[in-house]
């Protein structure tokens, strides 16, 4: 397996001139930063079904009898829905092991949400559609992290997406190297604090599920169920309140090693983070300093401290 996460991506977001207007939507974060840490697999569904660039714009048309159809804006009777669906089905069934997908917003083929729908009279309707390719992808792989370019401008959503692709990549590596109960338990143990920061009820539910691992004879079936639960849990962005609970939990590991002044300093830094006066990097840096000085086998394995490459600088002041 590739040592880097493999990420599918709408080709226009990489800078390829494949859009209907002959242009592109190159994303600086994706190509200038994330590209250093992942392997991209670009695809343009509209070019893949034989359309040129430039080309007439496509639209999702909400028909009375045949549901959502993909048609040209200038030739509303020319329908390429079946061709696009056939390509999408074939693509997702032969996708291999991906850790995420970045799609182009508003696209009738790739948009993830709020794609404009039109009626059969070519009148604009609600922004309530999903591109045919992306709808097929998400239906086939409901656990796969999928985001669109517009949403990745939100720092919290950006961090959450990158975190999920690295978690899924590591889980895929566990599978690729040969599933054992020990490897599954070790993976879950490494992610405990990170899961706690994302969704406490989900963390407890997943813990109960893992506690019954010994009852599963089919580890592949367990892996499939675990993967879906894990990715759903991590789909909840971590909150300041949950981060604070995790930081205080970690603080407890050092209660015997730190003197009164150090304990008070650490407590105050966490409280100031909770109130929004400090970024999360402040308590994390202090805790990592103490972890280096007073090593702990459990804490040293925790992905919470480094869920993705640090140079991506995703833990920003607003977190």
Q: What is the pLDDT of residue 65?
A: 83
Q: What is the pLDDT of residue 33?
A: 96
pLDDT digits (tens, 9 = 90+) for 107-154: 999 999 999 999 887 788 888 899 999 999 999 999 999 999 999 999
**Cα 101 off chain centre by:** 8
Q: What is the pLDDT of residue 319?
A: 47
pLDDT digits (tens, 9 = 90+) for 155-197: 999 999 999 999 999 999 999 999 999 999 999 999 999 999 9
pLDDT digits (tens, 9 = 90+) for 6-41: 999 999 999 999 999 999 999 999 999 999 999 999
Please answer whether residues 290 and 257 qualify as being in contact, where contact means their C-beta atoms are separated by less than 8 angstroms: yes
Q: Look at residues 151, 115, 144 and name the one whose alpha carbon lies nearest to residue 13.
A: 151
pLDDT digits (tens, 9 = 90+) for 230-248: 999 999 999 999 999 999 9
Give dist(CA 206, CA 204) in Å, integer: 5
Domain segments of the chain as ranges: 6-153, 155-319
Strands 100-103 and 115-118: unpaired
pLDDT digits (tens, 9 = 90+) for 58-78: 999 999 888 899 999 888 778
pLDDT digits (tens, 9 = 90+) for 248-263: 999 999 999 999 999 9
Please answer whether residues 22 and 58 qualify as being in contact, where contact means their C-beta atoms are separated by less than 8 angstroms: no
pTM reported for the whole predicted model? 0.94
pLDDT digits (tens, 9 = 90+) for 288-304: 999 999 999 999 999 99
């Amino acid at each position: 397996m590739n040592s880097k996460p493999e990420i599918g991506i709408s080709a226009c977001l990489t800078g390829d001139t494949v859009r209907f207007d002959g242009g592109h939507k190159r994303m600086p974060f994706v190509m200038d930063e994330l590209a250093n840490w992942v392997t991209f697999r670009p695809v343009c569904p509209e070019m893949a079904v034989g359309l040129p660039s430039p080309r007439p714009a496509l639209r999702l048309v909400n028909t009375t009898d045949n549901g959502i159809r993909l048609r040209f804006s200038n030739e509303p009777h020319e329908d390429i829905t079946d061709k696009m669906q056939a390509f999408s089905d074939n693509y997702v069934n032969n996708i291999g092991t991906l850790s995420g997908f970045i799609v182009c917003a508003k696209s009738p083929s790739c948009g993830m949400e709020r794609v404009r729908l039109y009626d059969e009279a070519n009148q604009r309707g609600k922004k309530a559609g999903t591109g045919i390719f992306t709808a097929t992808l998400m239906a086939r792989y409901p656990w796969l992290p999928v985001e669109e370019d517009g949403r990745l401008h939100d720092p919290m959503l950006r961090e959450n997406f990158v975190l999920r692709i690295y978690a899924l990549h590591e889980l895929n590596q566990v599978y690729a190297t040969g599933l054992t109960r020990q490897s599954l338990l070790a993976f879950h143990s490494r992610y405990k604090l990170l899961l706690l920061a994302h969704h406490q009820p989900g963390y407890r539910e997943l813990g109960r599920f893992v506690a019954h691992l010994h009852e599963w004879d089919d580890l592949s079936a367990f892996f499939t169920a675990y993967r879906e639960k894990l990715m759903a849990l991590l789909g909840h962005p971590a909150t300041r309140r949950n981060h604070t609970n995790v930081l205080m939990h970690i603080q407890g590991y050092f209660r015997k090693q730190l003197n009164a002044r150090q304990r008070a300093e650490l407590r105050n830094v966490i409280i100031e983070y909770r109130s929004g006066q400090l970024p999360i990097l402040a308590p994390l840096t202090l805790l990592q300093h103490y972890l280096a000085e007073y090593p702990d086998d459990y804490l040293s394995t925790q992905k919470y401290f480094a869920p993705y490459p640090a140079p991506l600088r995703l833990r920003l002041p607003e977190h």
